Structure 1
């Protein structure tokens, strides 16, 4: 039972793994090496900021990605053609181990699910919020792959749709020349420009696409599309594509059959522009070709002479008008500077006189201040001396009046005391006489009764 349980757990494990970071000790892209021609990844993309990712989805490996943690976009992604494969709608997936090498999440995960677990999320990879409030959207290098931000680059909406259509058209023409398409190996990449979104995610200068097939015959093809040219699409050989990618890049092992082009692909593309009812074009004879040759030579000679004459005329005109412009600039500059100096002379004279007047007024003010300071002490002293008799002599009557008032008060108090003593003695004598009289009168009446 225990063995069966372990077996079921191991069988279910690939169903939850969506992506994992390939370690340096592993060979190539580990289990994702099958997406490369003869199991050999491209050579020449050596950079410390590149990380190898084996992208898995729904229980199986889907594609391999070499990701630039410096530019936050994929360097390239490798696929094998599958009929009916398409990108699934849903949230964009991230690679947690890019920002946290110790993370146990060996799967592509939604950013909202790992934002709390990984504090440094977004340090080495692009996030959905990095594209917010910009003119760019995350666009897949190969739109038939699962929606992972590690396989997306900043593209405008129009370029994103046009790139998906161009890739589909090229693959539709390549599949008939590669058996059933099962042996068709595809590599899509991007070359960063100097522009960045929020100074973080690099906007590609151009995206590229390379195809290789070895059934029944080995051949390869390259495609380049510049982001500045939405409608343009350049078809090149893989060797030419490798030369444009710096660092001695080799996309396919053994040049995928020596770098041969797909058989009859050019003929098919050319013949599609002609109708079946169009009559064949007659080949011109030798006499006609001779006149055509003379006409071409004459045309080129006349064209070259006219171009030379036009060049000389343009150079002479540039010389003449350049000198005239230089003279005109020098004269106008001199006149402007001279006028500025002449206009400033009256202002400077007025400023000088104003400064002189202000200085004179300041001197007078200082002299007056000194004089006032010198005269202030004697003046106050003389005023005090002059006012001394007034405050002394004039005060004598008031003092005399106050003295007389005091004497009068003392006299009044003595008189009042004497009068009071006399009145009291009289009152006591009256009281005593009345008492004696009453007793005498009262005693006589009692004797008679």
Structure 2
């Protein structure tokens, strides 16, 4: 009897701490996309449907009784294509409070996703790189929900802790300053993703099975109540080793990022439904701001 009670308590605790669903589409968590529309990625995600339902999976990620972000997952590469979330200001917590053991997705087969053991004692200088980062979470529960390996890619350690981390902080400042809705509240739609390496050899993969992406990217789309218009900005960089303080990721226009991603996925790629390329803030202005805030 005591064993049953303990087991029930453990299961209840797990349920309260995290909730995620592998679903047929993003309808249940479409609020993380501008106009409730996910990106268009030719050959991958078309008309809100997976181009290959066996390979690409929709995941509504969450904590306790609510969804906190969405992930589109590639079970062949064993890394996410992207994670989508809303930025509404950083919550009052620190990273040590948010940190928890990394989890896998119980509704996916283990052989179709990365595992914590894949990262242990690797000699490829990579660690777990968040797509939805802890520093962009609005509260502690949301921050803890990001520690799922379906929200992470093998990222070069120096890149993850160097220019990419710096960029995440700069982007946070840009959104705080420039993304204000009609109630003057911070609000932005964010997409962060990775481009898988093309036809990697087993020795170039993490634990000979997890794709190490060649490039990482992020973009946000938001309304600026002062200018009464929608704006966007983006960043992208190669996933390579870097020297400390020797690299800065430039802030670029949405068009620049989409043109770069089209080299992999082709014409027809569109990240945001609300923000079009013509409404991107001038990249030179954003770059100047990012240098000052850095």
| TM-score, reference length from structure 2 | 0.72
Pick aligned residue for 1:131 from 106, 119, 140: 119
**Superposed counterparts of 1:362-401, under 5 Å:** none
The equivalent of 2:108 in structure 1 is 98
Shift of 1:165: 2.3
The equivalent of 1:373 in structure 2 is none
Deviates more, 1:89-98 or 1:179-188: 179-188
The equivalent of 2:216 in structure 1 is 207
- What 5-or-longer segments of structure 1 have no aligned partner? 1-11, 100-121, 275-449
3-state SS in 1 of match to 2:30? helix
User: Can you list the C-alpha shifts for 1:130-156, whole angstroms capped at 9, x where unaligned?
Assistant: 112213211101322421100001123
Please give the alpha-carbon distance, in whole angstroms, between the structure 1 residues aligned to 2:27 and 2:126.
33
Residue 221 (structure 1) aligned with residue 221 (structure 2): no
Please give the alpha-carbon distance, in whole angstroms, between the structure 1 residues aligned to 2:219 and 2:17.
31
Please give the alpha-carbon distance, in whole angstroms, between the structure 2 residues aligned to 1:268 and 1:147.
30
Residue 75 (structure 1) aligned with residue 87 (structure 2): no
| TM-score, reference length from structure 1 | 0.48
3-state SS in 2 of match to 1:41? coil
The equivalent of 2:37 in structure 1 is 40
Please give the alpha-carbon distance, in whole angstroms, between the structure 1 residues aligned to 2:194 and 2:185.
24
Residue 142 (structure 1) aligned with residue 146 (structure 2): no
The equivalent of 1:238 in structure 2 is 254
User: Can you list the C-alpha shifts for 1:408-437, whole angstroms capped at 9, x where unaligned?
Assistant: xxxxxxxxxxxxxxxxxxxxxxxxxxxxxx
Please give the alpha-carbon distance, in whole angstroms, between the structure 2 residues aligned to 1:271 and 1:211.
16
Please give the alpha-carbon distance, in whole angstroms, between the structure 1 residues aligned to 2:224 and 2:113.
37
Residue 29 (structure 1) aligned with residue 26 (structure 2): yes
**Superposed counterparts of 1:25-424, under 5 Å:** 28-44=25-41, 45-46=44-45, 47-48=51-52, 49-85=55-91, 88-99=98-109, 122-134=110-122, 135-144=125-134, 145=143, 146-162=146-162, 163-179=164-180, 180=184, 182-193=186-197, 194=200, 195-216=204-225, 217-228=229-240, 230=242, 231-245=247-261, 246-247=265-266, 248-254=268-274, 256-262=275-281, 266-267=284-285, 269-270=287-288
Are the counterparts in 2 of residues 220 and 259 from structure 1 also a CA contact under 8 Å?
no
Please give the alpha-carbon distance, in whole angstroms, between the structure 2 residues aligned to 1:241 and 1:18.
32
Which structure ranks higher in relative contact order (CA pairs < 8 Å, sequence separation ≥ 6)? 2
Please give the alpha-carbon distance, in whole angstroms, between the structure 2 residues aligned to 1:273 and 1:128.
36
Please give the alpha-carbon distance, in whole angstroms, between the structure 1 residues aligned to 2:74 and 2:170.
28
RMSD of aligned residue pairs (Cα, Å): 2.6
User: Can you list the C-alpha shifts for 1:208-255, whole angstroms capped at 9, x where unaligned?
Assistant: 00110123220111111112263241332212212222133210015x
3-state SS in 2 of match to 1:202? coil
Pair 1:238–1:269, CA change in 2 (3 A): closer
User: Can you list the C-alpha shifts for 1:310-338, whole angstroms capped at 9, x where unaligned?
Assistant: xxxxxxxxxxxxxxxxxxxxxxxxxxxxx
- Greater strand share, 1 or 2? 2
3-state SS in 1 of match to 2:67? strand
Structure with greater Cα Rg? 1
Shift of 1:206: 1.1
- What 5-or-longer segments of structure 2 have no aligned partner? 1-12, 46-50, 135-142
3-state SS in 2 of match to 1:97? coil
